[in-house]
């Protein structure tokens, strides 16, 4: 893997773990590599608009990812990665505590006011925006499933999902009697071990019909995504979620066909693998 590929992988992983935009991840990793530097010099080295660089740096300062000196001109200094991770964990834990403390009371009040729930038997559709929101829906689909679930997606998406709760949800699905089948398109054989760590019940390497993502649970629900953008909170990162039986069955049949025509990960000859179907 080339140096640029390593950095692209780092950008993706950092964005996923800390919920950063791609530019924020680039700025942070560049600061870690170069050390203290002015905002203007940083913008010049990364060849980005200076005003955009200043706005991004200010945002990262407020998030305690970057600090600045009292000197003139000011120097940008990256917070140590361990400290950034601790702060991110603490923030998430505080958010979870708030939900736990107030959530039960809110639900109780809702149930006291609305004694009957009107659930429509009609198929439903909704659009989910933002990578974290989409991944949450995927986690819920897998956790609640006791049947076959297909995930057909890109290698980059797998690398991002690896840093979510999806691998743990796969174990929960298996404990309920289900299984998660991962279909991924892969050209670099050195990444076979990385795909294995994702924890899918079974994995196959095959040619996908698009650069988007398909997640489908047999007979129940599907989550369909367009080609995946680089930025985690990009408005173009969206998914269509539906329980339409006809759509779910069609997507499940498509994934089953791709699965049938793909190669078992365990049988791939890493040395001679080209990523093309023989």
CA 247 to chain centroid, in Å, comes to 24
**pLDDT tens digits for range 75-132:** 999 999 999 989 888 888 888 888 888 888 888 888 788 765 555 678 889 999 888 8
Let me know: does 10 contact 56? Beta carbons within 8 Å.
no
Let me know: does 265 contact 158? Beta carbons within 8 Å.
no
> Which CATH number is correct for 3-78, 3.30.1130.10, 1.10.10.10, 3.30.565.10, 3.30.390.50?
1.10.10.10
CA distance 1 to 72: 40
**pLDDT tens digits for range 210-255:** 889 999 999 999 999 987 765 555 566 789 999 999 999 999 999 9
Give the CATH fold of the 125-267 domain.
Endonuclease; Chain A (3.30.870)
CA distance 68 to 158: 35
Domain boundaries of the chain, sorted by first residue = 3-78, 89-115, 125-267
Let me know: does 227 contact 198? Beta carbons within 8 Å.
no
CA distance 235 to 128: 10
């Amino acid at each position: 893997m080339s140096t640029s590929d390593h950095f692209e992988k780092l950008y993706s992983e950092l964005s996923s773990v800390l919920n950063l935009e791609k530019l924020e991840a680039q700025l942070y990793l560049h600061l870690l590599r170069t050390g203290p530097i002015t905002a203007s010099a940083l913008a010049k080295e990364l060849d980005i608009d200076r005003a955009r660089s200043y706005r991004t740096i200010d945002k990262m300062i407020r998030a305690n990812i970057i600090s600045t000196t009292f000197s003139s001109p000011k120097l940008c200094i990256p917070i140590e990665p361990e400290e950034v991770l601790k702060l991110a964990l603490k923030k998430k834990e505080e958010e979870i505590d708030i939900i736990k403390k107030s959530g039960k009371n809110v639900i109780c009040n809702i149930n006291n006011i609305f004694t009957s729930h009107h659930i429509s038997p009609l198929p439903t559709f909704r659009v989910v925006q933002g990578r974290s929101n989409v991944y949450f829906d995927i986690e819920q689909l897998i956790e609640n499933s006791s049947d076959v679930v297909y995930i057909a997606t890109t290698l980059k998406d797998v690398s991002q999902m690896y840093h979510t709760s999806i691998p743990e949800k796969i174990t929960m699905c298996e404990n309920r009697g289900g299984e998660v089948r991962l279909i991924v398109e892969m050209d670099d054989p050195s990444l076979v071990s990385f795909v294995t760590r994702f924890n899918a019940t079974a994995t196959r390497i095959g040619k996908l019909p698009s650069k988007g993502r398909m997640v489908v649970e047999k007979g129940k629900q599907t989550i369909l995504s367009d080609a995946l953008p680089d930025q985690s909170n990009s408005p173009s990162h969206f998914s269509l979620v539906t329980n339409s039986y006809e759509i779910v069955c069609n997507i499940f049949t498509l994934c089953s066909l791709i699965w049938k025509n793909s190669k078992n990960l365990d049988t791939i000859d890493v040395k001679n693998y080209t990523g093309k179907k023989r």
